Amino acid sequence: MTLSIDLSDEELEKILLGDRGRDLLMEKVFNQVLEAEMTEHLGADRYERNENRSGYRNGSYERELTTRVGQLTLEVPRCKDGSFSTKLFQRYQRSEKALVLALMEMVVQGVSTRRVKKITTELCGREFSKSTVSRLTKQLDEQVKAWDERPLDQEYPFLVLDAMHVKVRRQGGVRSTAVLLAVGISEKGQREILGLHTTLSETESAWKSFLEKLSKRGLAGVEHVTSDRDRGLKEAIRQKLPGVIWTPCHAHLRRNVLDDTPEEWRGSMKDLMDEVLQASSQTEAFRIFEEILEGDRRKMVTVANGEEQPEEVDAYNKLLEEAAPALATLKENLEEATAVLALPDKYRRRLRTTNMIERLIEEVRRREKVIRIFPNMDSAWRLIGAVLAEKHEEWSTGRKYLDMAEFRNWKKQASRPESEPDGSTERQPAMAT
């Protein structure tokens, strides 16, 4: 569904200059979203003659939606056969409820500012009590829990793991708290957010507990895992997902290598990493890197006619000397960083980094920055879980993220006995157990 928001000059002036500017803008946007949903449902716009039309409109009714900017009154369209049902309220209001409830919890626990109390009172239309908060949180907790504990009833060949940290009031102070996240790409090629795990800190035991929880829900068929280079996480993967191919996030590795590189050589180091990490195979990556260390690739600093000049050779040797710590970091991680090259080429770009989870974290941060400090662990789990559940629905019902046909063929050929000729892609040995 594509949507273009249309505002007249008069409407825009009213929104920008009026007291209810944000409310009116949100109402306008959501009403047009509802109309677009109805058009998609019927297969035709208003008054459009179309042989693919599946029904007709039948007016609308008002529906209130509570958001962080206030109470919105929306016009929900009807169709004559009553078959239209919007997903907007179910998906949007879950995370908004979690946000409002977190603010309300701050008030009832006596840790809110005057501004927060004013916002929550306006959103609720009146003062509220602890019992009201308790009742509302119970309803929302049931929804988030149902999502977070749902059975994982298919295989997930690709798994991406990462963590974010939020501030939570616990043990008499404000403390950093880890939220562990898992995204899987299913055998059907759909991205799914598999779950989250709130924990006091990001440790090996915490990651083991999270992976055990996913396993009990049915996580299976994992062939490749991408994550950061945290030692506790790496060890948890080794123990709980034995035999998988593991790739440390290239984006994290690049930053670590560049941090160890003198500023004057960072451009050259970026070029070296591009050549190594984007090689055609792991064998080729190792060959390129060895040539770099041996100084056989001075062509990178030769003059245009291809003849080496003494000063250029000296510059290359100086690069190897001054960037030695950075090259050591790259060498230490090279085997695991190039593990992704075992996969068919089309999958490498998507699985080199944890970027898909980084973008998820950005979505969470947009809500979290309103809270800044969660009043308790449950509040953090509730809000983050609500946001992730909504994104999961969007991903799992949208377009395929990857076509898995080539992967299935790769897996079939890679599992043949070594003595059987197959012409398959080089396969990286599994993570040592």
Residue with tokens 């690049």: 254
386 within some domain: no
Asked if residue 431 is part of any domain, the answer here is no
Report whether 344 contacts 428 (CB < 8 A).
no
Q: Give the whole-number percent of the chain exceeding pLDDT 90.
A: 38
Pairing of strands 158-170, 191-199: unpaired
Nearest to 375 by CA among 96, 69, 108, 67: 108
Structural domain tally of the chain? 1
Torsion angles phi and psi, residue 368, rounded to 5: -60, -35
pLDDT of residue 136: 67
Looking at the domain assignment, is residue 4 inside a domain?
yes
Mean pLDDT, the chain, rounded, equals 79
Contact assessment for residue 360 and residue 163, using Cβ atoms and an 8 Å cutoff: no
Highest mean pLDDT of the ranges 141-145, 254-258, 288-292, 418-422: 254-258
Mean pLDDT of 399-407: 92
Residue 278 in any domain: the answer is no
> Taking the chain, what is the end-to-end CA distance rounded to the nearest angstrom?
47
What tens digit of pLDDT does each residue of 5-36 get? 454 555 544 544 444 444 565 677 677 777 87
Q: Name the nearest CA neighbour of 291 among 253, 332, 320.
A: 320
Helix (H, G, I), strand (E, B) or coil at 68: coil
Where b means 16+ CB within 10 Å and e means fewer, 352-380 reads: bbbebbeebbeebeebbeebebbbebbbb
pLDDT digits (tens, 9 = 90+) for 165-219: 999 988 888 999 999 999 999 999 999 999 999 999 999 999 999 999 999 999 9
In a domain, 311, yes or no: no
Query: How would residue 256 be classed by pLDDT, with cut points 50, 70 and 90?
Result: very high
Residue 296 pLDDT greater than 60, yes or no: no
* CA atoms of 302 and 290, how far apart (whole Å): 19
The SS3 of residue 40 is: helix
pLDDT in tens, 92-148: 556 666 656 666 555 445 545 555 555 555 555 555 566 666 666 777 788 889 999
* Residue range(s) defining the domain that contains residue 40: 1-86
C-beta atoms surrounding 103 within 10 Å: 21
Is 207 part of a structural domain of the chain?
no
- What value does the mean pLDDT take over residues 280-290? 92
Q: Are 251 and 353 in contact (CB under 8 A)?
A: yes
Question: If you average pLDDT over residues 63-76, what whole number do you get?
Answer: 70
What pLDDT shows up at residue 73?
A: 81
Most confident residue range from 51-55, 302-306, 413-417: 51-55
pLDDT value of residue 303: 36
Q: Confirm whether 43 is domain-assigned.
A: yes
CA 254 to chain centre: 20
Stretch among 186-200, 246-260, 412-426 having the lowest mean pLDDT: 412-426
| 309 is a domain residue | no
Two tokens at 370?
A: 């309103």
Interval 38-50: pLDDT, tens: 888 888 888 788 8
